[in-house]
Structure 1
Amino acid sequence: MRRKNLMAALLCTFAMTAASIAPMAVMAEETETVTEAAETSAEEETQSEEAQTEDTQEDADGEAQTDTEADGETEALPERPDYQALDYVTLGEYKGLTVADQPIEVTEDQIDEVVRQNIQLSDAMETVTEGAVEDGDTANIDYEGKLNGEAFDGGTAKGYDLVIGSDSFIDGFEDGLIGVAVGETIDLPLTFPENYGNADLAGKEVVFTVTVNEIKRMPELTDELASTISDGEYTDVAGYRDSVRTDLEAQAQEQRDTMLKSDLLTQVAGNSKINEYPQEMVDYGVANMDSYYRSMAEQYSMDFEEFLSSFMGLTEEDFSEQLVMAAQQNLQQELYLKAIAETEGIEVTDEDLAAAAQDFGFETAEEFIAAYGEDVVRISVLQDKTLDFLLDNAVIEEAQADTEGEEGETEAAEAQTEAPADEPEEADSEVQTEAVTEAATEEQTAAE
């Protein structure tokens, strides 16, 4: 999983625009959606090109052999250049750095939540045809929200599955359904919070008319149910819950390592200096990003100039300038880690490649390389191996608990999740637009 997170980041380097060295897991999350969009766009383009019959393979570093059309001509993306990072980087201290470690703790509530999710995914919930909604039930509902007697956009849905107690809707919505019987319709007079994301609804009094269609209730976890939801791997409740705990601890350990490595990379960046960027790699990154955004324009059936203006507010000249800065930013992490690897003699072995292939579900390294390209795989594994080296040579101190900060984060998270369906499709579009804009326009800043 550790290598998989790093690979996901490298496979779409043009999407990484963080000013500082970002955590591997965070970068993976940021790039997965963009990678999928790029792959989808490339597939659609390939299907529509009647003159071309050759299969093309896309790897996220762009060194893929994906073709793009410019001025009616097909232009293949360049291969990934090779270079010596120490020709461009002056390294500072990178061994013996101190990082604060948060203890790993898995609670019974966390285990209960995973069990609940697995029961839901296994379609093992009990359907209640008579009775009323209780806390923890999943109520299938139809609802319509009205402001001043008029239905407002995004406030209506049918057949919506709502987990009572999930706090996914505004205050009072879920509590108001407790005690409502199957088939019953109720009016819920509610008030949107003052800080609600939609200014037209923030602080406004509304009425939701809700009908409970069906109730699904969480069954008691028995040995039989534990066997069912684990596909027979565990035949008793205790063994199954222990397995959930083990998985959660492994995930927590991975997150802990990711955060520690992120901290170490930030320190390395602060101690070191990039004197200049390898021009061939900058050109390579620019070509990849340009190709990606042109494919996005085609996906939206837009002229490229129109796409840049509508989604980014940029001219082609401004866009080209921003690509150079983005390409340089995307190189920062690789330059630091590659320079350390060159200094310490860290190299990628056949065993490293085989292990990475296993992490990705490939039987052999050859299959792994065939899928992503050897250069991409090797630079990915090299960076991951160098991160392990930094962690192995770090001084790890136990961090002090910050209960006030945790409470603040919890309140912020609760405020953010307070929302009934308010035009989800439109909201997703806005988020995608912002991501595209940030990816191409955010200026380069010094790594903190």
Structure 2
Amino acid sequence: MKRRIYLMTAITMVALAFTACGGNTENNKSSNASSASGSVVSSTKDNVNTAALDFNPSDYIEKLGNYKGLEYEKVDTGATDAEIEERVKAFLKNYPKKITDREIKNGDTANIDYVGKKDGVAFEGGTAEGYNLNIGSGSFIQGFEEGLVGKKPGETVDLNLTFPKEYHSEELKGKAVVFMVKINYILGDTPKELTDELVKANTEFKTVAEYKADIKKRIEESKKQESDEQIRRGLIDKIVTETAIKSVPKELEDKFDNQIKDYWNKVAASNGLEMKDFIENNLKSNEANFEKEVRSQANTSARRLTVIRAIADAEKINVSEDEYNEALNKYYESSGAKESMELSEYEKQVGKENLINLLLHDKVGEFLLQNGKEVTK
């Protein structure tokens, strides 16, 4: 399940740059760069030598819309006091008072470490450290929470329990197990205010003022990044709308069509549904309308990429080898893929061409932003 979730995230990132739907194929092969107009990525030693897009945008565009000097609205990206305090409250929730001098009672939340064993062997999913368990919630099998009532922090308890016969795991349903549980503490009240002592003990900062200044900086950086991304997408949308496009490469449109369907198939599978049932139950549609909508989004994606390619060709915007490798490693690290596969396999799953398309989208968007005009409305 972890592999599937991570992979859907990694794959979706590319298509989201081109369409509101999202979706991508797992195995995309790059062809050799042989476009008459030159590839998006140069074949010199300093740039990625890959295919990616082996079509000439000018064959499909009658007149490219004006893409320099476009106006975009200035957005306030400052951090408000309310936003800063919201982050402070979230921080304080992580450091409740630790109660260690009384017994656990129903309704308490206890911080525990536990190991579950069947026939003396630890079973998958039965081990955790620092888990906050609300006693009486019924979130664990019968007897687990009840077995901790009356125990005190610092104690280690062996719970001899039996999984329900209707339990979802074939390995565990109806089986006798032993949980060894160490009680760390009972969670008390959340601190009502942030203090220098709390900041110093749990962050890299020494004072509340320093910590809040960092929160402010992070909020503003995040809002600026989000604002710039929205502006870049908006500028590209404007150019696509104003560009006279005769048609799009059918192969490119088919590719996006397959990628979007592949994405939704993965979503359906992750929900344990056949695609037909997922379309009807989750998307509230039917197969005919779904096909029509996907084709429309595929065409939108192809039009968008064709225009991006045209601007990239006109401005000689390329993706360097260093830029590609840096992005590949960044997504590899942040997606969690490192836990389950090598970098080379991750690259194959995401698709080199797809990642290049994403980087090109970002670089062209940044070019438009830098060459646009900020206005205040």
Q: Which category describes the TM-score, using the shorter chain as reference length?
A: 0.5 to 0.7
Out of 249, 270, 282, which is 2:241 matched to?
270
| Structure 1: gaps of 5 or more residues | 1-6, 19-29, 32-59, 66-78, 129-138, 142-157, 160-213, 401-448
SS state of the match for residue 11, structure 1? helix
The answer as to 2:367 corresponding to 1:396 is no
Cα–Cα, structure 1 residues 339 and 247, in superposed 2: closer, same or farther, change >3 Å? same
Cα–Cα, structure 1 residues 334 and 234, in superposed 2: closer, same or farther, change >3 Å? same
**One-letter amino acid matched to 1:339:** A
1:92 matched residue in structure 2:
65
Return the alpha-carbon distance in structure 2 between the equivalents of residues 222 and 235 of structure 1: 10
Number of equivalences: 259
| Structure 2: gaps of 5 or more residues | 1-8, 29-50, 100-106, 110-135, 138-186, 335-342
2:193 matched residue in structure 1:
220
Describe the superposition over 1:186-238 as per-residue Cα deviations: whole angstroms up to 9, x where unpaired.
Answer: xxxxxxxxxxxxxxxxxxxxxxxxxxxx97343332222113332xx112222
Return the alpha-carbon distance in structure 2 between the equivalents of residues 9 and 115 of structure 1: 34
The answer as to 2:315 corresponding to 1:344 is yes
1:291 matched residue in structure 2:
262
Describe the superposition over 1:364-393 as per-residue Cα deviations: whole angstroms up to 9, x where unpaired.
Answer: xx7674563211121111111111111111
**One-letter amino acid matched to 1:117:** A
**One-letter amino acid matched to 1:325:** S
Describe the superposition over 1:222-279 as per-residue Cα deviations: whole angstroms up to 9, x where unpaired.
Answer: 222113332xx11222221221121112112212212322332232123212221211
2:327 matched residue in structure 1:
356
2:80 matched residue in structure 1:
107
Cα–Cα, structure 1 residues 99 and 140, in superposed 2: closer, same or farther, change >3 Å? farther
Are the equivalent residues in 2 in contact too, given 1:91–1:272 (CA < 8 A)?
yes
Are the equivalent residues in 1 in contact too, given 2:52–2:356 (CA < 8 A)?
no
Are the equivalent residues in 1 in contact too, given 2:67–2:368 (CA < 8 A)?
yes
Are the equivalent residues in 2 in contact too, given 1:12–1:61 (CA < 8 A)?
yes
1:386 matched residue in structure 2:
364
Are the equivalent residues in 1 in contact too, given 2:253–2:301 (CA < 8 A)?
no
Cα–Cα, structure 1 residues 80 and 354, in superposed 2: closer, same or farther, change >3 Å? closer
Out of 220, 231, 235, which is 2:206 matched to?
235
Are the equivalent residues in 1 in contact too, given 2:18–2:305 (CA < 8 A)?
no
Out of 218, 222, 225, which is 1:247 matched to?
218
Higher relative contact order (CA 8 A, sep 6+): 2
Return the alpha-carbon distance in structure 2 between the equivalents of residues 221 and 268 of structure 1: 49
SS state of the match for residue 216, structure 1? coil
**One-letter amino acid matched to 1:98:** E
Return the alpha-carbon distance in structure 2 between the equivalents of residues 86 and 297 of structure 1: 38
2:142 matched residue in structure 1:
none
- Over aligned residues, Cα RMSD in angstroms? 3.9
Between structures 1 and 2, the one with greater helix share: 1
TM-score (norm 1): 0.49
Return the alpha-carbon distance in structure 2 between the equivalents of residues 303 and 249 of structure 1: 43
SS state of the match for residue 102, structure 1? coil
Deviation of the 1:348 alpha carbon:
0.5
Are the equivalent residues in 1 in contact too, given 2:73–2:374 (CA < 8 A)?
yes
SS state of the match for residue 95, structure 1? coil
The answer as to 2:61 corresponding to 1:83 is no
**One-letter amino acid matched to 1:387:** G
Are the equivalent residues in 2 in contact too, given 1:116–1:218 (CA < 8 A)?
no
SS state of the match for residue 193, structure 2? coil
SS state of the match for residue 189, structure 2? strand
2:13 matched residue in structure 1:
11
The answer as to 2:90 corresponding to 1:117 is yes
Rg comparison, structure with higher value: 2
Describe the superposition over 1:407-447 as per-residue Cα deviations: whole angstroms up to 9, x where unpaired.
Answer: xxxxxxxxxxxxxxxxxxxxxxxxxxxxxxxxxxxxxxxxx
1:194 matched residue in structure 2:
none
